[in-house]
Structure 1
Amino acid sequence: MGLTAQSVSRFFSFRKKKQKDWAFPEELCRRFTLAEISAATQCFDQTLCIGKSAFGTVYKGRIKVDGDEDRKDVAIQRISGGSERRMREFRAEVQLLCQLRHPNLISLIGFCQENGERITVYDYMPNGTLSDYLLDPSNTKNKDPFPLTWKQKLKICIGVARSVHYLHAGVKHAVIHRDVKCFNVLLDQNLVPKLSSFGLSKMGPPALSNALIKMNSNLTGTFGYVDPEYLDSGNVTEKSDVYSFGVVLLEVLCAKSILILSNERPGSGAIFPDLIDPFLKGKVAPDCLKKFMNITVRCLRRTGAERPTMGEVQVELECALELQESADAVKQLKELGTSASTSLAPPLPAYDMEDYTYENISFSEINETFCILVRFI
């Protein structure tokens, strides 16, 4: 923690330097040559392309890291565009990520800045993005052609919440991500989530547990995820990330992007529970579903003051997982016709258990929140 706090603190002195004097903590980040990057990507062979975004093209490559003889699978992002803004975003991400360490943040291995190229190198995430699983469960990048289970989704949401909470409160200077979305959540071989894409991140003054960091900022972010209060005032806060995370929770519950949901809503008149991912209906325990919807609603409230902190969101999601696991255990025992003390039979898979019912759940609050949300999209 001490090293990380000191390193992040140094970020401010780096930002004050002129572009030509750009500094970075060499002991924490490796600078690759363009020749190394070209060899790793076979001269940016398009068959190795694994993704594209507004920031650039990502390739799967193999490169020697930290003196190892064997080459390691990595993700290599080639930044597109030569604008001053792109340069600032590239440098901001390199300077920030090479100083932060958290199990749910993407690990930056190094970078390359040579002959007009700006390239970042990360750990390779074999399971792609959370968007891949939510919007295209048969995507060939995924090992398993089946959709994520509810408990897998909950654990992913908890991991992302932990990473954002760390950014807000776990380092000396709070970091506001400003682009929390499903596309920026990468999944490793064990489906552990890694938050990525820090080019738009803002550093604040020293983090204070009870102080809201508020900074004036040029409007930026992803349409549909941007905090409406930020749109109105131009002031970005930690609660802007909370709002964006609330949209992520909504997409996880429905397995559709917020833009698709907003387009469907006016014409079809669809409301909850009809909007819930059909693969999840009946698989989510009622108490867990109520807890999850409550968290989502609170994250999506109109003003930041009404929203919880990411620390509170993390705790509530962990509680939701406990409620699901407890309900599943009770249901399994009932369906096996035995008690916990005498049963030697293995637990039933979730998809073999009878469906949960939601007759006693009111969906009015989340429907009202959803109707307000789509007005801003």
Structure 2
Amino acid sequence: MELTNLQEVDTELAILSRLRHKHIIRLLGSCVTLSKDKRLQATTLKKKKGLLRRWRMEPKEPESPEVLKRHIVYEYMENGTLFDHLHSVDGSSDMSPVTSSWKIRINVLLGVSRAMEHLHCHANPPIIHRDTKSANILLDANWVPRVSDFGLSVAWDTASDESAMQVYQIVGTHGYMAPEYVMHGLITPAIDVYSLGVMMLEVLTGKNAYSEEVTFADLAIVPCHLDMRPVPEPTPWQLQALKRVAWTARCCVKLDAKDRMAISEVAANLEKAHELICRDEPGSVDELDLFDELPDSPRASSVSSEGYRSDLEPEVLEEGR
């Protein structure tokens, strides 16, 4: 990858050089090159070939300024970005293994949550990614996700965990940014949790996070209408898994950062969703004895796959549209 924003490159190199995790992109190397301005070079070349002849004498061409460029080499990700598989403009996303499989979608979300848990809880110092989105999730040949693009990331001062850091330059991607960050420039690990919650809703619904006209408050209360592309219809076990993901997402996009789920809880809930969706045989809710019922959620007697609807938690997961 060729980059010209030297500050972001320095941040990327400083962070990735000390991170090792299955779900974080692996840095292979970097280099710096000096090159001439390509536009001036092209103009000069055309003149030398007589393509821009003039009857009058042309002034001498200025020396082409040298441009400093940095190149970062990452491990190769054969299957591109999660965003491209969810939102391809040419319709090819409809045939993608990602969009046709709820299991792959949940596997991707689980991998991202594990990477975020590593950044927040195990990196020293902890790292706040600050730009978690589907376009920054890369997929390898086996559809295993890697979190990438750490150019906007910041180190978190654990000594000040009761108060947020404040920045005066708001950078990130519209639709994924937490409200306290957008409005006040406040940074805590909770802003990554918010972004991950938005991405969970994006994966469940198949909708573009920054093209939908929804407010921050809407994300926490709007029913989740499932993407209709995966076939066949989800089994009862799959619906249980998707219901858990939807409930977790709702807990991640709370308006108040203090009300959001901690990243470790997010990963734990996605682990449970993964276990559910991996079950071969569908079962009734009464047989679901491995997991406690969700807080603040009414427990129903059955789950129906008709119309992609879960009766277990209708306010969170509703009929796909």
Structure 2 CA distance for partners of 1:283 and 1:143, relative to 1, 3 Å: closer
Task: Report the CA distance between 1:330 and its aligned residue.
Answer: 3.0
CA–CA separation in structure 2 for the residues paired with 1:179 and 1:248: 11
Structure 1 contact 286–361 (Cα < 8 Å) conserved: no
Structure 2 CA distance for partners of 1:128 and 1:359, relative to 1, 3 Å: closer
Structure 2 CA distance for partners of 1:301 and 1:180, relative to 1, 3 Å: same
Amino acid corresponding to residue 103 of structure 1 in structure 2: K
**Residue from 208, 214, 237 that aligns with 2:188:** 237
Amino acid corresponding to residue 11 of structure 2 in structure 1: A
Matching residue of 1:252: 203
**Residue from 26, 30, 33 that aligns with 1:111:** 30
CA–CA separation in structure 1 for the residues paired with 2:234 and 2:226: 11
- Give unpaired runs (5+ residues) of structure 2: 35-67, 215-221, 284-303
Deviations 1:104-126, CA, capped at 9 Å, x for gaps: 00011111123211111111101
Matching residue of 1:220: 171
TM-score using structure 1 length? 0.61
Select the structure with the greater relative contact order (CA < 8 A; seq sep ≥ 6): 2
Query: 1 or 2, which has the higher helix percentage?
Result: 1
CA–CA separation in structure 2 for the residues paired with 1:280 and 1:157: 16
Matching residue of 1:165: 117
Structure 2 contact 97–104 (Cα < 8 Å) conserved: no
Structure 2 CA distance for partners of 1:320 and 1:233, relative to 1, 3 Å: same
Sequence identity (%): 32
Matching residue of 1:276: 226
Structure 2 CA distance for partners of 1:301 and 1:359, relative to 1, 3 Å: closer
Matching residue of 1:189: 141
Deviations 1:39-89, CA, capped at 9 Å, x for gaps: xxxxxxxxxxxxxxxxxxxxxxxxxxxxxxxxxxxxxx1114xxxxx2211
Rg bigger for which structure?
A: 2
Task: Report the CA distance between 1:243 and its aligned residue.
Answer: 0.4
The alignment partner of 2:126 has SS state of strand
Deviations 1:18-37, CA, capped at 9 Å, x for gaps: xxxxxxxxxxxxxxxxxxxx
CA RMSD of aligned residues (A): 2.9
Matching residue of 1:127: 79
- Aligned pair 1:176/2:100, yes or no? no
Structure 1 moving runs of 4+ over 4 Å:
137-146, 354-357
Structure 2 CA distance for partners of 1:359 and 1:330, relative to 1, 3 Å: closer
Matching residue of 2:14: 95
The alignment partner of 1:124 has SS state of coil
Matching residue of 1:312: 265
Amino acid corresponding to residue 93 of structure 1 in structure 2: E
Structure 2 contact 94–229 (Cα < 8 Å) conserved: no
TM-score using structure 2 length? 0.71
Matching residue of 1:79: 3
Listed as ranges, the matches of 1:25-104 within 5 Å are 77-80=1-4, 86-104=5-23
CA–CA separation in structure 1 for the residues paired with 2:198 and 2:111: 16
**Residue from 274, 286, 293 that aligns with 1:321:** 274
Task: Report the CA distance between 1:147 and its aligned residue.
Answer: 2.9
Amino acid corresponding to residue 182 of structure 1 in structure 2: S
- Aligned pair 1:360/2:279, yes or no? no
The alignment partner of 1:329 has SS state of coil
Structure 1 contact 134–255 (Cα < 8 Å) conserved: yes
The alignment partner of 2:74 has SS state of strand
